[in-house]
Each structure stands twice: as structure tokens, then as C-alpha cells.
Amino acid sequence: MSDVRVTPWQDGDFPPPPSDLLAGMRGRRPDGELIGIDRVLLRSFPLATGWNGLLGRVRAEFSLDLEYRELIMLRVAVLNNAEFEWDVHYPAYLQAGGTEEKCDALQKQSGGSVIFNEEERALITLTDQSTKQVDVDAEVIEELKRLFGEAKTVEAVATVAAYNMVSRFLVALAI
């Protein structure tokens, strides 16, 4: 984190973050250890509070399968050159059921590999269109609704949007 463009928050900095915020952030991390993005977010307590709430729900409460959400997160990381995001979500994707082969394919500019199933290809198409051009073809949304239903389609779109926010934050501040 030595090249980060703002000084990350450290234990003992003043003012200290609200204890419930710090506990919530630590609760989302393995072993309760804050990571680089957490320490930068703590430079703005309102931002850290909202971020932790939103991303915590995307990661833990959506009904769209975690493997699919992690696939989206990895693809966004690739498209936006967010190496930190890839490093955080790569093991989570594998733990959720993803494979090394699929990780390799996600890193290629074309996500239409035959190793992906129909649902995964639809999610990659959504992610690519939303990330690269913002506008998503109506047919892509209709396909997602057919495959997942409306609630999970909304969650897929929200996952892409949320992790584009994450990656842009990471890349802009060199986290």
C-alpha cells in the first residue's frame, strides 16, 4: 500500500471511527483484519458506513448465488484493471465453487468461452456491456430474467454496478 494516493487510516488516528463502524468493517473481513480499501474508506466515516452496509449486503444477503456474484466481481476487476479487487475476490470465487480454468478465461477479453455455462455467459455479457458501455442491451436483460427471474436479475445488475464503483475507487486511489 505504499503507493496509495491518500494516507490510509491507522489505529490511533484522531478522530477515531465510531466503534460500531469499525466492528462492522472488521466483521466482514477474515480474522477481523482491515484491508487496504477499509483503511482508505475510514478517511470518511459517512462513506465507510454506507460502503460497508451496501457491499456487505451484496456479498452476504443477495439471493443470486455467491459463485455468480464473485464471477461478476472478478470480471469487473479484469475490465477495470483493478488488481487489488482481483486479489481479494479470486480466492472467494474459488471457495464459492469457481475454477482456476474459469479464472483464466475471465482474464481474457472475451468472456464467451465454452467452459462457462449459459447462466455464466449471460452474466459475463451483462458485466461486459454495463462496465464498458454502461448501456445494456434489452435482450441481455430479458435473457437474465429468463434464466434467473426478476429479483436475481436486479441483484446481478446491482452487483456489476457496485463492483464498478469499488474498482474505480481502488484504481483512482492506487489501492
- What pLDDT is recorded for position 147? 98
For position 110, what pLDDT does the model report?
64
Res 30: pLDDT:
83
Which amino acid belongs to residue 26?
R
The reply to whether 104 and 125 lie within a common domain is yes
Note the pLDDT of residue 101.
94
pLDDT at residue 113, as a whole number: 78
Look up the CATH number of the domain holding residue 129.
1.20.1290.10
Structural domain range at position 111: 66-172
pLDDT of the chain, 175 residues: tens digit per residue: 569 999 999 999 999 999 999 999 999 988 999 999 999 999 999 999 999 999 999 999 999 999 999 999 999 999 999 999 999 999 999 999 999 999 999 998 666 678 999 999 999 999 999 999 999 999 999 999 999 999 999 999 999 999 999 999 999 999 9
At residue 135, the pLDDT reads 97
Three-state secondary structure readout of 78-93 = HHCCCHHHHHHHHHHH
Looking at the structure, do residues 70 and 55 belong to the same domain, yes or no?
no
**Do 140 and 91 belong to one domain?**
yes
31 phi-psi bin (left φ>0, alpha ψ -120 to 50, beta other): left
Last residue of a domain, one of 41, 61, 81: 61
Same domain, 89 and 165: yes
Structural domain ending residue among the three candidates 46, 61, 76? 61
**pLDDT value at position 114?**
87
Please tell me whether residues 87 and 48 are part of one structural domain: no
- pTM score of the predicted model: 0.94
* pLDDT recorded at residue 2: 66
d(CA 153, CA 22): 32
Q: Give the Cβ contact number of residue 99 at 10 Å.
A: 12
What domain count does the chain have? 2
pLDDT value of position 25:
96
